[in-house]
C-alpha cells in the first residue's frame, strides 16, 4: 500500500535520491545530504514546539509499504518571509491615456514584491516518475490539505504555492534569459543553488529597482509568465481543484505562477470531516475513493482508500487501518478524493 507519512530523521538518503531525480528548478529538493538532514531536524523541532514561527515547517514522504521505499515528498512552510524576504514579481496593469489625442494604452508591469510575507506555503512536491500511477500524485498533493484541516491552528490566514516555471527543450528558462540574467549576471542554476543554500541577500542587492514593462520582453519570455514546467502541469491542476488560483504573483527566476488562497476557503475546510473507524472484511465494490488521515501530529499518515462513510462512520479494511496505525473506534479525518460535480 502507498501511504503518506510525516518524515523521519532517517529519510535523508531517500530525499537525496529524489533530489537527483527531480533535476533543476526544484529549489527545496537539492541532492545535498547536509541540507536535507538539517531540514528533517527542523521538522522534528517544529513538531516539538522548539522553533519560532519564521523557522517552522513540515515535510511528508510517500512510502511504498511493501518495499519501504520512499517514492515522493511534499512540504508545508508555516510562515514565509519573516526571516528572509519572500520575493516574487507582482503583476499589475497600468493604463496610460491622453485626453488631447483621444488615445489610451493598457500596459502590464512586473514589480519586485514581498507581499506574500506571513503566508503559509505548499512546497517541495515531487513524485518518482515510476510511481505516477493509481492516484499517487493526487494523494501526495492533497494529503497536505488534510494536515492543514486537522491542525488548522498551526497555519496562517492565507496560503500560497510557488510552482516550477517553464523550461525549454534545452533545459533553459527563457524568462530568466530575458530578464534575471541581465541583473544577476550568473547562471540560472547557480542562482537557484544559492537560494537553496539560504544565500538570498543578492536578490535584494541586484534586483530591478523599477517596474518592468512586460511588452518590452521577448515573446518567448512573455509566454513563460504564469506557465508551469511540463512535469508540473498535473500538480497545478490538483491545487486548483482544491481552491488555489493565480492572482498577481509569479516566480522571480522562471516566471512560474504563485497560486494563492484563503485557507478557510480551501475545499478541505468544507468537504472533510471527522469519522469513527469501523473495520470491515473488505471494501464494498462501489465504495468511493477517500482521503483518510489519522489524527496524530508526529506520526501523521494519510491513505487513498476505497471506503464508504455512513452516519459518521468510515469503513476501513484491516490493511487500511494498519497503514494509518488506527483501530476500530478511533477518529480519522475523511474527504472525498475529488469534489462533487
- Where residue 291 falls (left for φ over 0; alpha for ψ -120 to 50; beta otherwise) is beta
DSSP state of 287: P
End-to-end C-alpha distance for the chain, whole angstroms = 28
What nine digits make up the cell of 338?
A: 475529488
pLDDT for the residue numbered 184:
85
In angstroms, the CA 42 to CA 48 distance is 10
* Cell numbers placing 41: 531536524
pLDDT at 197 (0 to 100): 65
> What is the pLDDT at residue 201?
67
Reading the block at residue 265, the C-alpha cell is 476557503
pLDDT tens by residue, the chain, 341 residues: 999 999 999 999 999 999 999 876 577 788 999 999 999 999 999 999 999 999 999 999 999 999 999 999 999 999 999 998 899 999 999 998 999 999 999 999 999 999 999 999 999 999 999 999 999 999 999 999 999 999 999 999 999 999 989 999 888 899 999 998 898 888 887 887 777 666 666 777 888 888 999 999 999 999 999 999 888 898 899 999 999 999 999 999 899 999 999 999 999 999 999 999 999 999 998 999 999 999 999 999 999 999 999 999 999 999 999 999 999 999 999 999 999 87
Burial class (CB in 10 A: 0-12, 13-18, 19+), 231: middle
Q: Is 229 a catalytic residue?
A: yes
Active-site residue (options: 114, 189, 229, 315) = 229
pLDDT of residue 123: 94
**Residue 85: C-alpha distances to residues 54, 112, 175, 212, 227 (Å):** 11, 11, 21, 20, 23
SS3 307: coil
In terms of DSSP H, where are the helices of 197-232? Answer: 201-206, 219-222
pLDDT at residue number 209: 84
> 12-22 and 33-47 are packed helices; what angle lies between their axes, rounded to 10 degrees?
120
3-state class (DSSP) for residue 116: coil
Residue 179 in 3-state DSSP? helix
Residue with cell 512510502: 63
Amino acid at each position: 500500500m502507498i501511504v503518506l507519512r510525516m518524515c523521519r530523521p532517517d529519510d535523508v538518503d531517500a530525499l537525496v535520491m529524489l533530489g537527483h531525480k527531480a533535476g533543476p528548478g526544484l529549489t527545496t529538493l537539492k541532492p545535498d545530504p547536509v541540507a536535507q538532514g538539517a531540514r528533517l531536524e527542523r521538522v522534528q523541532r517544529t513538531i516539538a514546539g522548539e522553533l519560532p514561527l519564521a523557522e517552522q515547517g513540515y515535510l511528508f514522504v510517500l512510502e511504498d509499504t511493501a518495499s519501504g521505499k520512499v517514492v515522493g515528498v511534499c512540504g508545508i512552510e508555516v510562515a514565509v518571509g519573516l526571516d528572509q524576504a519572500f520575493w516574487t514579481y507582482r503583476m499589475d496593469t497600468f493604463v496610460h491615456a491622453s485626453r488631447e489625442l483621444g488615445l489610451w494604452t493598457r500596459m502590464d508591469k512586473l514589480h519586485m514584491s514581498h507581499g506574500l510575507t506571513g503566508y503559509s506555503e505548499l512546497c517541495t512536491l515531487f513524485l518518482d516518475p515510476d510511481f505516477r500511477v493509481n492516484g499517487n500524485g493526487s494523494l501526495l498533493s492533497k494529503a497536505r490539505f488534510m494536515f492543514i484541516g486537522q491542525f488548522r491552528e498551526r497555519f496562517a490566514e492565507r496560503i500560497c504555492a510557488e510552482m516550477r516555471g517553464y523550461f525549454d527543450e534545452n533545459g533553459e528558462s527563457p524568462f530568466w534569459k530575458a530578464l534575471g540574467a541581465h541583473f544577476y549576471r550568473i547562471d540560472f542554476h547557480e542562482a537557484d543553488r544559492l537560494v537553496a543554500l539560504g544565500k538570498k541577500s543578492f536578490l535584494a542587492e541586484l534586483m530591478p529597482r523599477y517596474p518592468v514593462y512586460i511588452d518590452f520582453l521577448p515573446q518567448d519570455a512573455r509566454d513563460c509568465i504564469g506557465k508551469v514546467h511540463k512535469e508540473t502541469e498535473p500538480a497545478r491542476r490538483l491545487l486548483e481543484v482544491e481552491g488555489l488560483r493565480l492572482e498577481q504573483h509569479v516566480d522571480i527566476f522562471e516566471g512560474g505562477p504563485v497560486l494563492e488562497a484563503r485557507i478557510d476557503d480551501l475545499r478541505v475546510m468544507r468537504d472533510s470531516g471527522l469519522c469513527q473507524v469501523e473495520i470491515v472484511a473488505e471494501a464494498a465494490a462501489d465504495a468511493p475513493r477517500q482521503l483518510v488521515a489519522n489524527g496524530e501530529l508526529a506520526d501523521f499518515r494519510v491513505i487513498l482508500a476505497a471506503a464508504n462513510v455512513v452516519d459518521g462512520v468510515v469503513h476501513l479494511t484491516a490493511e487500511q487501518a494498519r497503514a494509518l496505525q488506527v483501530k476500530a473506534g478511533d477518529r480519522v479525518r475523511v474527504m472525498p478524493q475529488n469534489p462533487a460535480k
